[in-house]
Chain A
Amino acid sequence: MGAIDDLTTELARLPGIGRKTALRLTYFLLKRTPEESRRLARAIETVVERVRECSRCGNLTESDPCGLCQDQRRDPRIICVVEDPADIGAIERTGEYRGQYHVLGGHLSPLDGVGPDELNIDALLRRLGGSGGGGQVDELIIATNPSVEGEATALYLQKLVRPQGVRVTRLARGLPVGGDLEYADGVTIAEALSGRREL
């Protein structure tokens, strides 16, 4: 396999990109100046080297703990639990939320072999006041997607943290069932935040 084939194969592995599009992208990269394409290659390399998971909240970050966890102005008494780091961006863009976050890294899905152990749940329990957490959290907002899996994950978490005496709420109104938080618009998320319900 030649270099063109190699790159095309790599690109075709990306989500939403088929073989044809991958080939088109490869030729596009070859048509640009070498410097432009090198910049892309470097950006990918840098991201891979520098970005990792925040050891506290699971967000993707270059510094550990992440900027959100370090921000003194954010309310440490509320934690919003999301499936993916991209969901944090969606909620932050609404400007309506000033608490902390916790990223699960997905949702429960037995058919795909994803159980509680595959999610970032232990770290969440630690933050809620187990060992070395501080126990100052008094509300957990569960903002998993409004899909069958997201709902099951929310319910599982709610029962799990109940003994800790934390108030648990769930994003409500407005989010379309089966939808994806990441793609919901800001107004919808803001509404869902203010209309969150007790679980």
Chain B
Amino acid sequence: MNAPPSLVCRELRLRQFRNFAELDLLFPRPGAAVIGPNGSGKTNLIEALYYLEIFRSFRGAADDQLVRFEGEAFHIRGRFEDPATGREVEVTAAYEKRRRKKVVTVDGAEPERLGDALGRIGVVVFSPSDVAIVAGAPGERRRFLDIVLSLNARGYLGALQRYRHTLRQRNALLRAGAPAAQIDAWTASLVDSGAVIMAERARWVAEHRAAFASRYERIGGEVAARLDYRPSVSGTESPESDFAGALQAELDRLAGRERERGLTLAGPHRDDLGFLRGGEEEGRDLRDFGSGGQQRTAAVSLRLVEAETIRAARGRAPLILLDDIFAELDPGRSRRLLELLEEEPGQAILTAPKASDLEVRHGALPRWRIASGQIVAAA
């Protein structure tokens, strides 16, 4: 945990974003606690900040939905400071509804590709909706992996884009009942890019399994839980696997069924993660048998592991965004999570419905009140 502190958001400027007509905020270096009732715009604020990290909504909303009702375009501008060097970074994002046009800049210049600007700041969001990663469908878990690895593993984003593209082409052929010679022409690219994705996923899980177990144990105050990579191709769980060879062999084996079904039946688009209980209920899947509290604990632990991934990949702690998560955790878990968060050296910006819900940074964060898209310092 000796990485230098996170980039610090000093200024955020929103125009026509969600329920913010005009918002200009100056953040103190430690962060802020934003308090307000349901529907006041707390999650919208977090969404805007994280937009500057991945240039889309963390809740999976389409860009059109982010433009204020009756507005035409939104603008987000953030000014971030590196406390270690004093250097500043400015990241902006704008989206115009009518032309469906998104413009991103970093320090005033448009990056050649959007991918070059991704993850410029280093941010982790903790949100109540994270429980879906543990309790929801496998697609939620793949989405989590894809975002974390696109931002932190070199070559992952490119492989993912190539894989998805190839998959669509190959499925189109399978649907049309094309001859094997045509389908095979796409299989090589599917296997190449798929193997990169599988290898990175397997490696990430192997590298962070212990950290996940210990975070889960500390927050939950119970036995550790286990994180597993569950690839669609059996025998490729370990990072040392021959991913390309195994995926190719599996596709060969499934060739007949793929043509019947008109679908690609193996590959990272069918991968999953497993969260397993330890102790007496050893091996029970948290997705099916975990209590709400256990599932939330696993989700929070996963976000802490994400923070560690960012630290390792970028040599700097992440900025921490906490969106109303303490209401969901019982008092014991909340307290133990807070203790863990004190070890995160970065800026923390959090939201809550009531002031009494939080004592992050030992209550040192200034308190702001939010109501229908307006934010003011609390008296």
Which B155-214 residues sit within 8 Å CB-CB of chain A?
Answer: 158, 162, 165-166, 168-170, 172-173, 176, 178, 181-182, 184-186, 188-189
Within the complex, the shortest CB–CB distance from A55 to chain B, in Å, comes to 26
Cross-interface CB contact of B186 among A116, A152, A159, A160, cutoff 8 Å: A152
Bound together, the chains give a CA A116 to CA B185 distance in angstroms of: 11
Within the complex, the shortest CB–CB distance from B195 to chain A, in Å, comes to 15
Cross-interface CB contact of B162 among A108, A115, A116, A148, cutoff 8 Å: A148
Bound together, the chains give a CA A153 to CA B186 distance in angstroms of: 9
Contact with B along A110-131 (1 / 0, CB 8 A): 1100011000000000000000
Set of chain B residues within 8 Å of A64, measured between Cβ atoms: none
A139 close to B (CB within 8 Å): no
Bound together, the chains give a CA A7 to CA B38 distance in angstroms of: 56
Cross-interface CB contact of B169 among A110, A116, A159, A160, cutoff 8 Å: A110
Contact with A along B274-302 (1 / 0, CB 8 A): 00000000000000000000000000000
Contact assessment for A153 and B169 in the assembled complex, using a CB-CB cutoff below 8 Å: no
Contact assessment for B178 and A156 in the assembled complex, using a CB-CB cutoff below 8 Å: no
Bound together, the chains give a CA A156 to CA B184 distance in angstroms of: 8
Bound together, the chains give a CA A159 to CA B185 distance in angstroms of: 9
Set of chain A residues within 8 Å of B181, measured between Cβ atoms: 156, 159-160
Cross-interface CB contact of A110 among B178, B184, B189, cutoff 8 Å: B178
Bound together, the chains give a CA A155 to CA B182 distance in angstroms of: 9
A177 close to B (CB within 8 Å): yes
Bound together, the chains give a CA A148 to CA B170 distance in angstroms of: 11
Which A123-178 residues sit within 8 Å CB-CB of chain B?
Answer: 148-149, 151-153, 155-156, 159-160, 177
Bound together, the chains give a CA A153 to CA B178 distance in angstroms of: 15
A109 close to B (CB within 8 Å): yes
Contact assessment for B188 and A108 in the assembled complex, using a CB-CB cutoff below 8 Å: no
Nearest B-chain residue to A153, judged by Cβ: B185
Bound together, the chains give a CA A32 to CA B176 distance in angstroms of: 53
Nearest A-chain residue to B185, judged by Cβ: A156
Contact assessment for A111 and B172 in the assembled complex, using a CB-CB cutoff below 8 Å: yes
Set of chain A residues within 8 Å of B185, measured between Cβ atoms: 108, 152-153, 155-156, 159
Bound together, the chains give a CA A109 to CA B165 distance in angstroms of: 11
Nearest B-chain residue to A110, judged by Cβ: B172
Bound together, the chains give a CA A181 to CA B181 distance in angstroms of: 26
Contact assessment for B184 and A159 in the assembled complex, using a CB-CB cutoff below 8 Å: yes
Nearest B-chain residue to A109, judged by Cβ: B169
Set of chain B residues within 8 Å of A155, measured between Cβ atoms: 184-185, 188
With A108-B185, A159-B184, A159-B185 in contact, do A152 and B169 touch (Cβ < 8 Å)?
A: yes
Cross-interface CB contact of A148 among B169, B176, B182, cutoff 8 Å: B169
Nearest A-chain residue to B175, judged by Cβ: A110
Set of chain B residues within 8 Å of A151, measured between Cβ atoms: 188-189
Bound together, the chains give a CA A168 to CA B168 distance in angstroms of: 28
Set of chain B residues within 8 Å of A177, measured between Cβ atoms: 158, 162
Contact assessment for B169 and A149 in the assembled complex, using a CB-CB cutoff below 8 Å: yes
Bound together, the chains give a CA A109 to CA B169 distance in angstroms of: 7
Nearest A-chain residue to B165, judged by Cβ: A148
Within the complex, the shortest CB–CB distance from B262 to chain A, in Å, comes to 12
Contact assessment for B173 and A110 in the assembled complex, using a CB-CB cutoff below 8 Å: yes
With A109-B169, A159-B184, A177-B158 in contact, do A148 and B178 touch (Cβ < 8 Å)?
A: no
Known: A110-B169, A148-B162. 9 other contacts (CB 8 A): A109-B169, A115-B182, A148-B169, A149-B169, A151-B188, A156-B182, A156-B185, A177-B158, A177-B162
Interface residues of B (CB under 8 A from A): 158, 162, 165-166, 168-170, 172-173, 176, 178, 181-182, 184-186, 188-189
**When A and B form their complex, which 7 residue pairs have the shortest distance between CB atoms, in order from nearest?**
A156-B185, A110-B172, A152-B185, A155-B185, A110-B173, A152-B186, A111-B172
Ordered by A's residue number, 14 sampled pairs between the chains whose C-beta atoms are within 8 Å are A110-B170, A110-B172, A110-B173, A110-B176, A110-B178, A111-B169, A111-B172, A115-B182, A149-B169, A151-B189, A153-B185, A156-B181, A159-B181, A159-B184
